[in-house]
Amino acid sequence: MTSSGFPPDHFTFPAVLKAAGAIQDLEIGRQLHAAAVKFGYHTRPVTVANTLITFYAKCSDIDSVRKVFDRIHDRDQVSWNSMIGALCMFEEWDLALNLFRYMMEESAEAPSSFTLVSVVSACSNLRRRDGLRMGKQVHCYGLRTGLYSGEKTFTKNSLISMYAKLGRVKDSSMLFEQFDCRDIVTWNTMISSLTQNGQFEEAVLVFRQMLGCSLRPDGITMSSVLPACSGLENFDWGREIHAHVMRNDGLRQNSFVGSALVDMYCSCGRVEHGRRVFDRIPERRLGLWNAMISGYAQNELDEEALSLFIDMEMDAGLTPNATTISSVLPACVRSASFPRKEDIHGYVVKRGFEGDRYVQNALLDMYARAGMLAISEKIFKSMEDRDVVSWNTMIMGYVINESYGDAFNLLCEMQGVRVAAMAEDQDGSSYGADKPNCVTLITVLPACALLAALGKGKEIHAYAIRNLLASDVAVGSALVDMYAKCGSLRHSRRAFNQMTKRNAITWNVLIMAYGMNGLGVEALRLLQEMVTRGNQGDNVKPNEVTFISVFAACSHSGMVAEGLEIFHRMKSDYGIQPTPEHYACVVDLLGRAGKLAQAYDLICSMETGRARAGAWSSLLGACRVHRNVELGEIAASHLLQLEPHVASHYVLLSNIYASAGLWAQAMEVRRNMKEIGVRKEPGCSWIEVGDEVHQFMVGDLLHPKNEQVQQYLESLWERMRKEGYLPDTSCVLHDVDDSQKEMLLCGHSEKVAIAFGILNSAPGSVIRVAKNLRVCNDCHAAAKFISKIVEREIVLRDVRRFHHFKNGSCSCGDYW
């Protein structure tokens, strides 16, 4: 055109600048800008300048955007809208809002619907308190001026999205329900909002409503609703939605929809379905590769994840991004192909991702799971931009490595950061990225359960109630479990009853709790209630874990006939095929009741192979209780072939020999352990006193109050003897004289923990102790005497069950 002698005018420049912006060619755009200046169109008419703002914004040149805007003398509505939109594009949310205020105060131009869409977007990206305050003001302004009236769906869609992003999904739903002229974007926005806020069932319901309105879903719809099926792990719903995709040719080849399908199938444990989806999509974008790699890693198919990662780089020629690295790192942790985890970290640095927060979180987890906690701490402390995942990962690292005190301290520090953020906002309503969430709670509650730290568990429960997290089914289940394992069955049942929504895990936890406390009848009654509610449409049915809990309950209560009846009816009445774990539980049930021959016959009826290991282990434990050397040797011979590096097998066999006075055989077993490098786990007990959890190892001399505790134990020992206590020296598995055996018995960790608890707690309060091994006969007898002498209730949880000692007797009735 120009070479033909026709000069461009103010209609030409907006058209060609729009084209240059579409291909993001900054050099060509600058040449056009120069031409506009040459022909005098760069300031008047304003349409050329407005197009220049949009062009430079699309080319990520913020400085040029500002210069063009500042030089416009007669700004119109489009000028302001373009500038505010450009600032939002650069995520300069505060500047966008400041410019909007300036427009309202200084400009003769009134905001339009397009202005409000940009401003609402800026509000949705502020901290919750500020965003809601500003967003509501903009909403009111739009209602007052009529900018939200009529069929301007894009304005209302932006409001729905804003309220959802700021955590007010109920307000989003209310707007959605009041909105008559819904388009596909409206439905997609609502479905996405519900999914992102964890309201998965509601998201699927809105999707079904959308189909009922004869609207045809697009790729965004499917990419929004499929993560809801992933969150619910609902394979059937996900498969139905896949059927909708298959009926639409355009969606079938969509890489984004494919990624969501792969993620859904992998979240439901159907990795092979996800791989078929992956293989059928011809044009695989990076997101699809990431979804498949993450799916493999999520299901611990580590070699497949690493192989696909290599294929992505070598064959597909794609460059990994931070999501790729974050997905593949968990596979590297577990894979034997990478014995030196530092090598993976070197690859991360080489790729330039060491400063990415998501990759840093993955590295935190990797080093913690590899036992290199010091490196995790170093990375965590060096992070400038921590989010809640960073805190949760570090807390989980401490829990995994049994550094429970550090885990609790970090939780307090996390809450301290939150309090500081609230103080800045004065009214305490700020959002705060460091606020402990549901994942934080279900990470630390098991630590409270393990340590029997009831006080800390109650503090966390109070926090959950204050922050409206207790209604979450995962948090509720963790609370039920925590109270149960702290020996407070009353609180556990109360937490269970207060839950409005329960899943199979919740029921299983409470059934197991009744079982561990020897309340088998109540456990079976709860199973029947679970079945009844499931038949009434509660959508919860007994699973494999349920029956493991039931058999454990029957075992601890001596309910052999009831347990065997349920075992034989599992498949016919409940549709559950017995697994090796169920056989092991039933062997324990029979063995604990002294029916060793029947337990042996049951094992022989099982299929051969490694699956029998659990059953043989249960039989070996029963032989230890009933001192059956012959069957114990048979069980041990099978176990040492199947699992030669498991210390407990050697220890149990050695105990059987020692109890029978066969010291030579016992020493031979111990010698074999030493030769192959197998080490026995030392006895360890925990007790919570005040705000601290104290740990005692067998023969512990390192505790600051050890001397005081030992003196008290000696005086307690004398009082117990006067009451008729006689030490059970058969529990000492060393060939030494009786006086030395008694000294060794005094050093058992649970005795030391009980004595410490009596000395450091209020008279009459309950003593709660947790132990990592089975309580021995002597400690069990001693605890009964102590409870009577000091007039205190002692709750002792060992690796098998609970013992409630009171007035000289135990709740187990000496059956454990």
Strand partners for 770: 686, 797
Residue 331 lies in a domain: no
CA distance 644 to 587: 21
CA distance 373 to 641: 34
CB 668, CB 653: distance < 8 Å: no
CB 484, CB 492: distance < 8 Å: yes
Residues 622 and 659 in one domain: yes
Residues 616 and 696 in one domain: no
Residues 609 and 707 in one domain: no
CATH of the domain at 657: 1.25.40
Residues 622 and 706 in one domain: no
Give pLDDT, residue 148. Answer: 76
Residues 656 and 695 in one domain: no
At 340-356, the pLDDT tens digits run 877 889 989 998 998 89
Residue 426 lies in a domain: no
> Counting runs of H as helices and runs of E as strands, what totals does the chain give?
43, 6
Residue 513 lies in a domain: no
The number of distinct structural domains making up the chain is: 2
Residues 695 and 800 in one domain: yes
Question: For the chain, which residues score pLDDT lower than 50?
Answer: 421-433
At 50-81, the pLDDT tens digits run 999 999 999 999 999 999 999 888 889 999 99
CA distance 147 to 139: 9
Residues 702 and 674 in one domain: no
Q: Which residue, of 664, 680, 696, is where some domain finishes? A: 680
Residue 276 lies in a domain: no
CA distance 183 to 210: 10
Residue 758 lies in a domain: yes
Query: What is the chain's alpha carbon radius of gyration, rounded to the nearest angstrom?
Result: 33
Residues 691 and 794 in one domain: yes
Give pLDDT, residue 432. Answer: 42
Q: Which residue, of 638, 664, 680, is where some domain finishes? A: 680
Q: Which structural domain, as residue segments, surrounds residue 583?
A: 579-680
Residue 15 lies in a domain: no
Residues 630 and 667 in one domain: yes
Cα separation values, 705 from 122, 689, 694, 709, Å: 59, 13, 11, 6
CA distance 36 to 10: 8
Q: Which residue, of 680, 709, 738, is where some domain finishes? A: 680
Residue 302: Cβ within 10 Å count? 20
43-74 as b/e: b if 16+ CB within 10 A: eeebbbbbbbbbbbbbbebbebbbebbeebee
Residue 462: Cβ within 10 Å count? 11
Residues 648 and 705 in one domain: no
Residue 788 lies in a domain: yes
Residues 699 and 736 in one domain: yes
Strand partners for 771: 685
Residue 782 lies in a domain: yes
0.85 surpassed by pTM:
no
CA distance 15 to 365: 52
Residues 613 and 706 in one domain: no
In sequence order, the 6+-apart residues with CB closer than 8 A to the CB of 428 are 422
CB 68, CB 53: distance < 8 Å: yes
